[in-house]
Amino acid sequence: MSFKKKPLILVTNDDGVDARGINRLIEGIRTLGEIVVIAPDGARSGMSSAITSIFPIRLNLVKKENDLTVYSCTGTPVDCVKLGINEVLKRKPDLLLAGINHGSNAAICVFYSGTIGAAFEGCIWGIPSIGISLCDHSPEADFTQAVKYGKIIAEKTLENGLPKGVCLNVNVPKGEEVKGLKVCTQTKGYWAKEFQLAQDQTGKNIYWLTGEFTNEEPDNEQSDEWALDHGYVAVVPLQIDLTAHHFLKEIKKWECFK
């Protein structure tokens, strides 16, 4: 695509506006266009595509400088995207970037991640949208490779666009030795052994969410977990049409249907 104006890029995340990941991303993509950041005012990990309807949402201008405006928001990542599109931006953005997330959003994490929830929301609005995550949860995580490859995929997406209803889930492996970008599929698997039982200060049972990922297809070289294990940046195109088209013919045989 060619742009008459500078591309307008909406940036959000689920770790909050002060997180290192989003700020490293903003520095890295400053040259790509006009950047508007609308991100939660604190951590919203695991918020999926949650929306806030019971409470009102507040939006605060954090800073405004040349081609960079930053807002914080009391809502979820999806609320941030919705506020951006409906209330803040003068026109539809050319690109939405969510991240850089602290920790992997590969495989089945696409269901739980607020970062990917934000990317889906951009996609629902017809905006080329990308979730970017670094598979490193440590406070000293090195975002160098994630910024480098995040910028490349952002540039390529501005150049080529994405089909309607498709967004990208980009996961970058930990470490300095990254082999490059690889197109992948969402790894089949689930989280198991999910709770740690503990007691509160009065002796009552409480459960802490934890868990281990069970990979159901560890040998699938097309899967995003395989790519990450082998040093590649995994790029999975995701779609918002969740209809199980392959099952339509079969379920119609159930005798209950008209």
Among residue numbers 14 through 53, which ones bind a second copy (CB under 8 A)?
43, 45-53
Size, binding site for a second copy by CB under 8 A: 84
Four-residue CA torsion sign, 236, 50, 128, 97: negative
**Number of neighbouring beta carbons within 10 Å of residue 65:** 7
**DSSP secondary structure string for all residues of 148-162:** HHHHHHHHHHHHH--
Decide if residue 202 touches a second copy (CB under 8 A). Answer: no
* Closest distance of CB 5 from a second copy, Å: 24
Question: Which phi and psi (to 5°) does residue 165 adopt?
Answer: 85, 5
* CB 48, min distance to a second copy, A: 4
CB 131 → a second copy: shortest distance, Å? 12
Binding mask 107-146 for a second copy (x = CB under 8 A): -x-xxx----x--xx--xxx--------------------
Which of 64/239 has CB closer to a second copy? 239
Q: Is 4 or 139 the residue whose CB approaches a second copy more closely?
A: 139
Distance between alpha carbon 198 and the CA centroid of its chain, in Å?
31
Q: Which residue has the tokens 């300095």?
A: 176
Specify the stretch interacting with a second copy by CB under 8 A; choose among 24-32, 62-70, 103-111, 132-140: 103-111
Burial letters 213-231, b for 16+ CB under 10 A, else e: eebeeeeeeebbbbbbeee
What count of Cα atoms within 13 Å lies in the side-chain half-sphere of residue 19? 34
Site string for a second copy, 145-174 (x = CB under 8 A): -------xx--x---x-xx-xx--------
